[in-house]
Every structure is written in structure tokens, then in C-alpha cells.
Chain A
């Protein structure tokens, strides 16, 4: 089976803060149309990794290469941080929900399409005069937003204030907003946090279909093992800033290093298949 070129290639990434090495010599890859999960105990460096990917931190060392379908290979660590989302189309969500609370859900999604609308408005002149080209772009953006809200099952809250809604709804709005920004690589930081089992299952199904249909790569930080095992095509395991395993779910699940570092200490709500053999061997 020939694997196509990876969408994201991380080579020898190191991130150092003063005396602390948050990430050390990390190399991994992620493919388009696949879901790749990054897991590991708290403090393993997962969110730091996302921050390096999306231009919030400048890596101390290493290369982050994105193979953009139209723009070729882009070095995420070298381009300006604003271009990570704009040109490279790498979009992320955050551990804490970062919606714009006093704006409506629809407005939130319109802001995600800011760059498209801004160029259509030609320095706001076409916009101010409400020229046809701008009007069309605007209608299209609204349409796009409503479609994604529908996909995520939150169409009915379009005109409510984003800060006013239950947590699960906000999470879904956040994903819809991220999709409106038109990602090639979607990075989700703990999207299943705080969701009940039914919502987690819906999220899992949604993420898989998003990856396949849209052909985008999805990178996921997650602690909920049931979600991780069901949704991932590929898993990378971090511990203390270093990669300790990488592979498909079955491989990772049976990897002894992973078990001792992470899965072994996990709580009961993890995957339904017991890891009995390996766990008892290390008890």
C-alpha cells in the first residue's frame, strides 16, 4: 500500500522555554483525509505542540512542513503567524472555548470568513458602497455559515449570543466556526472535553466523515480514550515532551511503553476492550 505524501511532516521539533524543554526532538506525520490523535499525560507537551504548529510559539529547533495542495510545501515554523491560518489554512480550536461571547453565533462564523470577505470588500470600499460583488460574497458567506451550523446540528442558535449557550452547543459552534475558516489541516484541542457519551459518539462520527468527505487532515488532542480509539487512523503518543509511540490504534494500544506511561493509569471510562493481558503483565 503506497501511502501518499503526508499532509503534515514534523521533523525534530524542539521547544524550549528557558530551562524547560517542553518538546524534545519530536518527529511525526499526519495525512490528509485522516484523523491523527496526539495523546499523552498532562504536561506531555501536546498543547505546546499545537502552539508551535499554529504560529503561537516559535520553535527552538526543527521543521514543520505542510504540503498545501495549491501552495506547495510551506514551513509553518518560518511563515508569519497570521499566515498560518490565512495562507497555509491551518485552523485550530482551544482547550477553553474561545467564541466571541457578545456576538451572535452567525457573526462568529462570519468572522471566521473574514479574509475572504475582506478581500471581496476591497478595503471596505466595495463593501461600503454595497457593490454586487461584495453582496454576493457576503450572501455566500452566510450560506456557508448556515450550512456548517446545520452539519453540526446547531442551526437553530444562529442568532443567539454565543456566550449564552450550553457547553456542548458551544463546542459544536466552535467546530463549525473552524470549518468556516476553510482549513486544510484542522487542529482540535480536546473537542470532546465535557461532552456526554452520546455527544462524544456524535463527535467521533462527525470527525471521521469530515476527514473523508472534505479531504482535510484532522489533528486531535484528546484524553477520552474511547473517542481516540474509535476516531483515529493514526496516533502519536507523547510523554515528557518526547514521542514514545506512533502508529495505528491497535499498535499503540498494545505498546508496553504507552501502557505504562499512560493507558495503564487511565480511569475506568476508557475503551471498552480491556487491556488485560498487557496490564497484568506489568502489574
Chain B
């Protein structure tokens, strides 16, 4: 019983991280209809930036955990957004009117580039930092057996994610930029005719996606304490699966999909077999795409002939 509760907690935490990354995928897909293969690696870059930032902050003598996290979040979001902007500008904008295959291949190239660039500039070995947020709360503590334990880090991650989701939903639904962004998703041509700077809207979409991935990167650094250049690839596929599961193009769907994937991963690893937990995710992806490609919250697409 407490094992199940523990996995529930672990799964939701993991799922929150996947969800944040998945939103980036779904936003970009919604607006330009392409999968940003490099998105997972943007998240990875953010994790590395977080490691460096945390180390710098600690070295500068700042001991307040809140301050460290706040500073790191700001720095990561800012720099990672720059990465997001660059990826769009260099790898997507020149190809916006090409065949479907070209931007996909270009994004694969960028993904390879980022992974190797980080590997070369930051070293191929894992980086680990001391956990900043320690301790937690025992939820169920039965006599003699292992109870369920929720760490403060987990609470932080889920809390930050919830806050971010609320703010983000308000942003997309209430602000004028959010409206423009949604309009671009529907009809880019029309937006151009109406005089909107579609280039800028798309660029900002990439940056926002990158910003959310940045938060995920910081969270994962806090949570696990280890990063290496390959985490982007793994997380990227899972987050993409989450986006598809939830319904590509749907923002709540991305978060929902993330939570579901996180839960499945946690429970599979605990009850079935840890080695094959990734296989479970891929199989889910294939099954979803086969039977319900529009996902849980998406609308089925009817192709105009």
C-alpha cells in the first residue's frame, strides 16, 4: 500500500518534469506543424547550465536555498531561451517552406550537434552536485516496514509545476500574445496578411517552450543531482510520447500525458522490471499512434483532399 503511494508520488514528480518538456513539443508542433527534435537537448543544456549556476552560487557563498534556486531559475530560463531562439533561427526559419522532411532532418542535425557540443565543451562524464533540497515528510510509516515518503524536492517540483501551469494557462488564454499565438496555430497565412509579425510569434513560441524546458532542467538537477549529455535524448522521447498521448497541440494534454507517462514509468520500474521501463514508454507511443493518433485531449485531424 505504501509502496503504491510512494510510486504515485515518484510518478507524479517525474511526470511533472516530462509535462514541462512536453509542452514545448506541443506548442512548437501546434504552431509550425513540426517536431522539434532538438527540444530534448535544450532541456539537457539547461540542466548543465543549472549545474554550473548552482556551483557558482555556492562558491559565491550564497547559502540560502531559496536564493540559489531563484537565481538559477532566472539564469537558466534566460540562457536557455537564447538557445531556443537560436535553434529556431538557424534550423527552422530558413526551412519553413521546404518539404516536411527537411526541418525534421535539420532538427536531428541540431540535436546531434547540441549533444556533441556539450560533450566536448563540458566533458563526457556525468556531473553531480550536492543535493540542495534535502529532507521530507513521512506520510505513512507503518511499524517496521518502509513507509511512503515525500521529499521537499518533490513538493517543490510539483508546486513549481502547478504554479507555472496556472500562470502559463492564464498567459495563453488572457494575454494578447497568447491570442496571437493561438491564431497563428490556426492560420498562419491569415496572420501574415493581417500584418502580424509571424516570425516573431514563432520565435517567441520556441523561446517559451525552451523556458519551460529550462525549468524542467533545473528541477531535474535538483531532484537527481546528476546530469550527462545523453539525458536529453531519453527525456525527449518520453516527453514527446507524453505530448502525443495527451493530444499533440493540446497544452493541458501535454501535462496530462506527462503525468501518465511518469506514473507508468514509476510503477513499471517498481513492480515489473526496471530495465524495461523505457521499452514500456516506447510501446505506449506506438500503441497510441496506432489506435488514437489524436491522443486523449486532441481533436482528430481530417485531411483535406
Do A and B touch, yes or no (CB under 8 Å, in the complex)? yes
Tell whether, in the assembled complex, residue B302 and residue A94 are in contact, meaning their CB atoms are under 8 Å apart: no
A167 surroundings in chain B (CB, below 8 A)? none
Interface residues of B in 1-19 (CB under 8 A from A): none
Q: Would you give the shortest CB distance from A48 to chain B, in whole angstroms?
A: 9
Chain B: minimal CB distance from A2 (Å): 37
Q: Binary interface profile of B, 272-305, with partner A (CB < 8 Å = 1, else 0)?
A: 0000000000000000000000000000001001
Q: Are A47 and B302 in contact (CB under 8 A)?
A: no
Chain A facing B: main interface SS: mixed
Within the complex, the shortest CB–CB distance from B94 to chain A, in Å, comes to 21
Beta-carbon nearest neighbor of B303 in chain A: A56
The answer, yes or no, to whether A123 is at the interface (CB within 8 Å) is no
> Cβ of B302: which chain A residues have Cβ within 8 Å of it?
17
- Tell me the A36-70 residues at the B interface (CB within 8 Å): 47, 51, 56
Bound together, the chains give a CA A94 to CA B304 distance in angstroms of: 11
| Chain A residues, CB < 8 A from B305 | 47, 51, 56, 94
Residues of B near A94 (CB, < 8 A) are 305
Total number of A-B contacts with CB less than 8 angstroms?
A: 5
With both chains docked as a complex, state the minimum distance between the C-beta of B21 and any C-beta of chain A, in angstroms. Answer: 32
Residues on the B chain within 8 Å of A51, using CB: 305
A51 to B304 alpha-carbon distance, docked (Å): 10
B102 to chain A, nearest CB (A): 14
Distance in angstroms from B187 CB to nearest chain A CB is: 17
A78 to B305, CA, bound (A): 20
Interfacial chain B residues near A56, Cβ < 8 Å:
305
CA A56 – CA B305 in complex, angstroms?
8
**In this complex, what residue of A is CB-closest to B302?**
A17
- A51 vs B305: C-alpha distance when bound (angstroms): 8
Give B298 Cβ to nearest chain A Cβ, in Å.
14
Say how far A183's CB is from chain B's closest CB, in angstroms: 18
Interface residues in B102-121 by Cβ distance below 8 A to A read none
A56: nearest residue on chain B (CB-CB)?
B305
Nearest A-chain residue to B299, judged by Cβ? A18
* Cβ proximity bits A1-31 to B, threshold 8 Å, 1 near / 0 not: 0000000000000000100000000000000
* Beta-carbon contacts under 8 Å, A80-96 to B: 94
Chain A min CB distance to B304 (Å): 9
**Contact indicator per residue, chain A 239-263, by CB within 8 Å of chain B (1) or not (0):** 0000000000000000000000000
The 0/1 profile, CB within 8 Å of A marked 1, for residues 191-211 of chain B is 000000000000000000000
* Least Cβ–Cβ distance between A53 and chain B, in angstroms: 12
Nearest-CB distance from A100 to chain B (Å)?
14
Query: Within the complex, what minimum Cβ distance (angstroms) separates B37 from chain A?
Result: 25
**Whose C-beta in chain B lies nearest to the C-beta of A98?**
B305
Measured in the bound complex, the distance between the Cα atoms of B305 and A151 in whole Å is: 28
Which residues on the B side are within 8 Å of A17 (C-beta)?
302
Q: Which chain A residue has the least Cβ–Cβ distance from B304?
A: A47
**A166, B1: Cα distance in complex, Å:** 72
> Across the interface, which residues of B come within 8 angstroms of A47, CB to CB?
305
What is the CA–CA distance of A51 and B302 in the complex, to the nearest angstrom? Answer: 12
A168 to B: closest C-beta gap in Å: 23
| Complex Cα gap A182–B302 (Å) | 29
Shortest beta-carbon distance, A91 to chain B, in Å? Answer: 14
How far apart sit A17 and B304, CA to CA, in the bound complex (Å)?
Answer: 13
CA distance A61 to B137 in the complex (A): 61
Question: A116 vs B53: C-alpha distance in the bound complex, in angstroms?
Answer: 67
With the chains together, A136 CA to B302 CA distance in Å?
A: 42
Interface residues of B (CB under 8 A from A): 302, 305
Binding site for B on A (CB under 8 A): 17, 47, 51, 56, 94
Closest 5 CB pairs of A and B: A56-B305, A51-B305, A17-B302, A94-B305, A47-B305
Please name 5 pairs of A and B residues whose Cβ atoms are closer than 8 Å in the assembled complex, sorted by A.
A17-B302, A47-B305, A51-B305, A56-B305, A94-B305
